[in-house]
Structure 1
Amino acid sequence: MPSSSKTLAGTLTVLIGLLSHCGHVAHAYSSGAPSSACVTMLPIHGPIAQQVPSPYVVNVSSVEVLPSGTVTVTISGDDFKGFMVTAYSSDFAVGTMVPLNNQAKVVCNALSITHTGSALKPNVTFQWTAPGDMFEGTLINFKATIVKERVIFWTGILSAEPLVYVETSPDLPQSGGTSNSTTTNDPGSVLLPTATTTIAPGKTNQFPGHLASDTECGKSKACFHDCEAGKCTFIVSWDDDGDVIVMSMTYRVPDSNEHWVAVGFSKDQEMGDDSVTECIMHDGEVKVQQSYNDGMDNKYLDNKKAALSEQSGKLEDGLLHCTFHRKKSYPRDPLIFDLNNDYYLMVAVGEALNGIKIPHTFDVLPPVSDHRIDLQAMENVAGEEPPTNVLVQIHGALMIISWVMLMSIGITTAKYGKAMFPKINPFGVNIWFQIHRACLVTAAVLTVIAVLIMAVQCKGYCQIPLIAGEGKNHWPLHPVLGLLVLVLTVINPIMALFRPAPKAANRYLFTWSHWGVGVLAWILASLAIFIGLDLEKSHAPPEAMHAMVAWGIYHILFLVAMETLPRPLCKLYNTVSEITVQRGKVYNLERVHQDNLGCVSEDGNSVLALESVDLGDMTKQMKEEEERKAKKELTREEVKVQRAMLLFHYAAILIFTFTLLLVVYLYTPPLHSHADHW
């Protein structure tokens, strides 16, 4: 393959672009906290938080807030680069953040606010709007994580004093009337029109939206839930009543927006071909209706109320609750599954707009039961994160072996291996070509197998929804890149079968096209692997992405080293050799001069004749050296250095590959605790 400086520059440019893209995926935190920080509020780009007292203060413009009222929050202290703030009532995130300038933006469904740039800031001011359905006397604390430098940050910084939620206050006028907004005595607080909230009789001051575990689960009714330590995000319960299943769903909504909760009856533990019953908020009411998961798309049935009766629902105390009767058998519509059979249960939640579901994000997969559930039996089942699919694991392993290991070795061997082992010719073909061909053909076969595996898994094209969570817009590119890689992988060996003879006039066309297709496929496959490791289905930890970034950086360093390092390492040796040759020339000239004066050697032969032969050999060697330099060919010493570096490269690639496989496939992902998200 071509080894010109243009080739190196092009390769480096593409690889640098690749790494820049990957850095954006893994460490795009200069533009704000990522979605992974919504639960922990911790940056993952540095060591542990500082243990010394924080130099920052979080101040709130008022000590009280009315339903749907707004207060101003200010962070001040030393200059800082990044921040993330969330309002908490008990362990639940509440309210809505409102940025006041371009220094901040909302994240985590507007439950949190974060920075938009890494410039130093002396202070930041933003607003927070309270929910309209909290209890009188509820305490709200603002919790902040503040980053001074990349590796210097404080977390768990609380507002100077808690904010008290009040329905009426002598210090704050009530909202209402005909005006769109009302200004309080505090110029930093604006009250918005409040929503009417009904408080259940007998309720006392307590934190909103607390869903406690049901002690009757497994005793008087069957349940599927995500409860931990007595605290839950959802509970689905049911009871067998002859021809119908009496079901109930309760979901702790995280904010005052409209939401939905749905239970799916599935033949496996993955979304697709599932019968779904959902409860959805709209205009203060809760509707119960039927839908169906067609692959990754949820579609309503022609008759949304089919097989349903005795429906009721309400939103009370921050809990979305609905009950309904579901006929076990409904033969008129095959998309409504027969509940006399056993199914895996999965529960999904999300926001709604005007009574229409907004698809749930895919950065955290819905919990699913670990076994098929008999709805006629009395069970108490905890939801778990869906297990990693075996076919997905095989697909990922084959692609990593093909492109992280085999293609890395095959491409670099073609570029640097031709002069490395000139005397090793197994089966009459030089070893560099044997290695190159074996790696590329094996990689092509494994790639085809990997793509076919996913075609079987997805029953065709694996479409990833565009709505895939904050910062996940690159996810749908994964199958597209995979297909492009497949096409290029198949084309390249076909091109090789029809390559011209080595000395043919048009050989250069094949050389450049073969190189270009191979390198392009390598880069696209690397991008696909980066995205694949980020997909929730891969269950890959952040360390896997770090390993891939290290792999990319290593390749840049290796290419630079192979182009620049051999000559400097040999320079000292060559310098010493040249000095020795020069001394020999001086000695020979002196002997020639003596011979011209009549000097002879001890055996009586002429010194001039002997030295003339020596000078001729040296002249020939010097001429060969000049020709080699003109052709930019490596010296024998430089070849030895590159050979050692290439062997090191083989070992390094093997280490990278097996490390990545171990990190991805021996790592056991922790179960997401949905009850602890807020």
Structure 2
Amino acid sequence: MSLPTMVVLVALAALLIAATVQSLPQGAPETVCDTMLPFHSGGRELPQNSVPPFGIETSTSVVGQGQTLRVDISGLRPELSFGGFMIQARNRNPPYQIVGQFSPSRDGTIKLMNCENSVNNSATHSNAGPKQQVSLDWQPPVDFLGQVVFNATVAQTYTDFWVGIPSSPVQVVRRDISGPAPLPTVNPPTNFNIASTRSPYVPPSYVAPSVSPVIEDTFYDGCGQIKNCFGFPNGCVATQSCTIISAITVRGEVYEFEMRSGKGTNAAYVAVGLSDDARMGDDLTTECVPENGRVNLYSSYTSNNPYAAIRGSVSQNSARLLNASFVDGVIYCKVQRDPLTVVQGRSFDLKNGAYHMLVASGTGLKENSVGFHNIGFLPSSSPINLAVVQELGGSSMLLVRLHGAFMIAAWIGTTSLGIIFARYFKQTWVGSQTCGKDQWFAWHRMLMVTTWSLTVAAYILIWVELKRAVWHAHSIIGLITVILCFIQPIGALFRPGPNDKMRPYFNWGHWLGGNLAHILAIVAIFFSVKLPKAELPEWMDWILVGFVVFHVLVHLIFSISLCMNHWQVSSIASDRHQSQRVNTFQMGDMAHHHQHAMRNGMSMERKMDAPYGGLRKGLLGVYTIVLALFVVVLILLVVLAPIEKAFK
């Protein structure tokens, strides 16, 4: 080979190496102080999701105020090199501010940065040449006490870089000038396990530019033709309006899962699971979670006792993140899973097995886990072999719909009307009986027995659907309501007689239990509107508010009528007493006449309705009609949920 040819090849190789390790040639700009993201091509490159092959070590774990600490950035293996870096020390406690200062390097390989209006509190590379290790000197502030953690971004190549690599915590202590400085404690070798090291600094979520790897409109392309698509709410794939959407593409033994959250949901994660029984528990789950400026991938196994998604049970190498973005609050990821994953002795065989698909998303996270799926959760109606492309529907919501309809009919309808009869109609339809009982009591008993029957049936239905306890505001308040409802008729069976001294206590207890159950039931219905599984529109709250206002207004009118009744009866009794006083009967005759008049008066009161009976009957008719309209509208919202799709 001629010398000129060798020179050309060497020059080309040098250019290729320079292009491979190139970061920003003169270090990171101060515009990335908060995100610590490299400014590659305007920020188009995503950070790596894998465990970084680089780490940060400090010369001591305890340093005095104003003393110097050495900080090293290096690879796990000696042959590893990197081109660019950026490093900061941040307070381990909120608000995680940048603290301390770095010293200039003697060889000029380090460029100091001024972030958050402070001098030299961050550092970056001054050239993008390959390097195996960088050593920096750092001093804590003289007025700072506490723990700091060094966070670094390290770029191995133009496209391979890791953001937010943390060091072990360093304790800054008060320096006693009259005594010896704190003894340097050499930190043990760092294992660089990101999953077990908690970084105190969480940079803002990475927002990809307009050239996002996923375009909103293309996700649904090929659904039912080359890939299985399934989303929440049920049937949303056909209308391309999913709040949560997943897709599975199978090519031979390659299984690719795609997931995306809906825009405006404020999702903290999106997940897809594989289940034998269409219920949470004993499922293989794939989670995509935006953390530290990138979308992280986790595999987990759901348990029932306690209910949780446990990541430690599943090998994190059983799935690989192929692509991800976090654009305008929308989480997207593309994951390749192994055809066979064994979890706690149980095999998830994607090639030969059939599984229900589960989709879930929520706004909260737990320690090393995801939070409750309060945005949405839906299992597919039947198990499928993932390689067989088909249209998928969600599992039946019949029992959930019946539960809601029964509870509304019971607590908005029959209970409200039964309370009206018991409170305001004891002196109406006097002399008329049904089955040997006064009209008010016969109607009250029939309505309350209906309430009891509907409530018990609704509670059994939801237990059949869920098969386990799910604790939140709706379920807790609902359980208390069911208990009160169940004991009310039992207490009524042991009602003391009218002249029994315990009768007043029974009356007050029965009144308190019934009204408390009614109030709690309505509150529970309000909370049900927020449940993702119910799929109820938020404006249903206003219909419930309208019912409450109408119900209270009718009670107010009835109460005023009742007060007028008492006033009129008192006036009649007073007039009778005055007329008896002006008569000049003997004392014995007067007493005899008074007793006779009282017997006649009581007899007449028993045979006659209380005053304003017509008003009460008319108001009852209006109340019954309007109440029926409220019940019908609310039941339709429950049965046809989601109502927006029912009329499309």
Is the counterpart of residue 377 in structure 1 residue 312 in structure 2? no
Change beyond 3 A, Cα 1:131–1:268: farther
Q: 1:395 to 1:523 in 2, by over 3 A?
A: same
User: Residues 340 and 348 of structure 2 are in contact (CA less than 8 Å); yes or no, is this contact kept in structure 1?
Assistant: no
CA drift at 1:412? 1.4
- Number of matched pairs: 444
The CA deviation string for residues 322-368 of structure 1, in whole angstroms up to 9 with x for no partner, is 54342347486237466523333234456898993442641x31466
In 2, are the aligned partners of 1:290 and 1:304 still within 8 Å (CA)?
yes
Q: 2:520 aligned with 1:529, yes or no?
A: no
Give the Cα–Cα distance (whole angstroms) in 1 for the partners of residues 152 and 622 of structure 2: 69
Counterpart of 1:498? Answer: 494
**How far is the alpha carbon of 1:370 from its aligned partner?**
6.4
User: Residues 90-121 of structure 1: CA distance to partner in whole angstroms, max 9, x if unpaired?
Assistant: xxxxxxxxxxxxxxxxxxxxxxxxxxxxxxxx
Correspondence for 2:434: 426
**Kept after mapping to 1: 8 A contact 2:259/2:272:** no
Structure 1 residue 658: Cα displacement: 1.8
The equivalent residue for 1:401 is 409
Gapped regions of structure 2 (runs ≥ 5): 1-28, 45-110, 120-150, 161-207, 232-236, 580-589
1:356 and 2:330 correspond? no
Corresponding position of 1:211 = 215
Amino acid aligned to 1:222: K
- What is the CA–CA distance in structure 1 between the aligned matches of 2:241 and 2:498, rounded to whole Å? 73
Taking structure 2 as the reference length, the TM-score comes to 0.55
Residue 315 of structure 2 is aligned with which of 305, 311, 317?
305
Partners of 1:658 and 1:512 in 2: how far apart? Answer: 33
| Secondary structure class of the residue paired with 1:504 | coil
Structure 2: distance between partners of 1:239 and 1:312: 16
Q: Which residue does 1:645 correspond to in 2?
A: 619
Instruction: Please report the TM-score for the alignment, with normalisation by the length of structure 1.
Output: 0.53
Aligned pair partner of 1:414 in 405, 413, 422: 422
Report the equivalent of 1:345.
Answer: 357
Cα offset for 1:289? 4.6
Shift of 1:68: 4.6
* SS at structure 2 position matched to 1:177: strand
Conserved 8 A contact 2:309-2:369: no
Residues in 1 aligned to 2:642 and 2:310: alpha-carbon distance in whole angstroms: 36
Kindly tell me: are residues 444 and 669 of structure 1, through their superposed partners in 2, closer, same or farther at Cα, counting changes over 3 Å? Answer: same
Q: Following TM superposition, by how much is the alpha carbon of 1:527 offset from its aligned partner in structure 2, in angstroms? A: 1.1
Tell me which residue corresponds to 1:262: 271
Which residue in 2 is equivalent to 1:239? 250
Shift in Å, 1:264: 0.8
Which residue type is aligned with residue 527 of structure 1? V
- Offset of residue 214 of structure 1: 6.3
| 1:478-532 superposed Cα distances (whole Å, 9 cap, x missing partner) | 1111221122112211111111111223211111111111111111111111212
Rounded to whole Å, the distance in 2 between the matches of 1:459 and 1:230 is 32
1:318-333 correspondence to structure 2 within 5 Å:
321=333, 323-328=335-340, 330=342, 333=345
State the SS of the aligned residue for 1:530.
Answer: helix
Q: How does 1:153-164 map to 2 (within 5 A)?
A: none
| 1:27 paired residue number | none
Q: CA deviation at 1:253?
A: 11
1:177 corresponds, among 105, 108, 112, to: 112
- Report deviation, 1:565: 4.4
Q: Within 5 A, what are the aligned runs for 1:89-128?
A: none
Q: Is the 8 A contact 1:391 1:457 kept in 2?
A: yes
Residue identity over aligned pairs, in percent, reads: 22
Residues 1:277 and 2:286 are matched in the alignment = yes
* Cα distance between partner residues in 1 of 2:370 and 2:251: 31
Structure 1 residue 658 and structure 2 residue 593: aligned? no
Structure 1 unpaired stretches of 5+: 1-64, 71-128, 139-175, 185-192, 464-475, 586-615, 673-678
Query: Relative to structure 1, is the Cα distance of residues 403 and 313 closer, same or farther in structure 2, using a 3 angstrom cutoff?
Result: same
* Structure 2 residue matching 1:373: 3-state secondary structure: coil
3-state SS of paired residue (1:278): strand
2:448 aligned residue (437, 440, 454): 440
Work out whether residues 220 and 240 of structure 2, in 8 Å CA contact, stay in contact via their aligned partners in 1.
no
CA distance 1:446–1:571, change in 2 (3 Å): closer
Q: 1:218 to 1:391 in 2, by over 3 A?
A: closer
Q: Does 1:136 align with 2:145?
A: no
Aligned counterpart in structure 1 of residue 479 of structure 2, from 462, 477, 483: 483
Is the alpha carbon distance of 1:348 and 1:69 closer, same or farther for their aligned partners in structure 2, counting shifts above 3 Å? farther
Q: Deviations over 1:379-404 (max 9, x none)?
A: 5x6x88x5672111111111111111
CA gap of 1:133–1:663, structure 2 versus 1, over 3 A, is: farther
Give the distance between the partners of 2:38 and 2:565, measured in 1 at CA: 73
Distance change (3 Å), C-alpha of 1:390 and 1:131? farther
Describe the SS at the equivalent of 1:422: coil
The equivalences for 1:585-624 within 5 A come to none
Report the CA distance shift for 1:352/1:493 in structure 2 as closer, same or farther (over 3 A). closer
CA contact (8 A) 1:67 1:130 kept: no
Give 1:538's match in structure 2, choosing from 534, 537, 549.
534
- CA-to-partner distance for each residue in 1:193-247, whole Å, 9 max, x for gaps? 996788769xx98444643626984799635377899999866443253xx5532
| More displaced stretch, 653-662 vs 427-436 | 653-662
Q: Which has the higher contact order (CA 8 A, sep 6+)?
A: 1
- Secondary structure in structure 2 of the residue aligned to 1:265: strand
